[in-house]
Amino acid sequence: MTSVSELLAANLQDVFGNRDPLTRRAAIERVYSEDVVFTDPEGTVHGRAALEDKAAALLAEAPSDFVFVDDGARYAADDVGALGWAFGPAGAPVARGIDVITVANGTITSLRTFFIDPTM
């Protein structure tokens, strides 16, 4: 069984940080439940295909030197976890946030992304 900590890492690196569509799709099949729910400030989407579209669009719009990195500790319980992240050129992120996941049967069933408030 995949741990919550491993799923947090896979979500960030193997999916949202992965610019190769074939390996990203394989990771999506492995990491998320078929009916995964993904919510970010733009709204909510349902299912693996919609999540894949969100990841692909984000990466297509970002410069090629932008990468996701862990930005703090991973917080994990049996069925929920959280991970802070940073996105941008290595060492100079332009965005920061946190992902909160819910897990059942070894896959992510829900993913909620929050961005750090730039006014704080």
Per residue in 37-74, pLDDT (tens digit) is: 999 999 999 999 999 999 999 999 999 999 999 999 99
Q: Fill in the DSSP letter of residue 20.
A: -
pLDDT of 9 reads 97
1 pLDDT band, cuts 50/70/90, is low
In this structure, the number of other CB atoms found within 10 A of the CB of residue 9 comes to 18
Question: Which residue(s) pair with 112 in the sheet?
Answer: 39, 100
pLDDT of 2 reads 85
Q: Does domain 4-115 have CATH number 3.10.450.50?
A: yes
- The amino acid at residue 91 is G
Domain boundaries in the chain?
4-115
Does pTM top 0.85 for this prediction? yes
Q: How many helices (H) and strands (E) does the chain have?
A: 3, 6
120 pLDDT band, cuts 50/70/90, is low
pLDDT of 117 reads 75
- d(CA 21, CA 9) in angstroms, rounded, equals 18
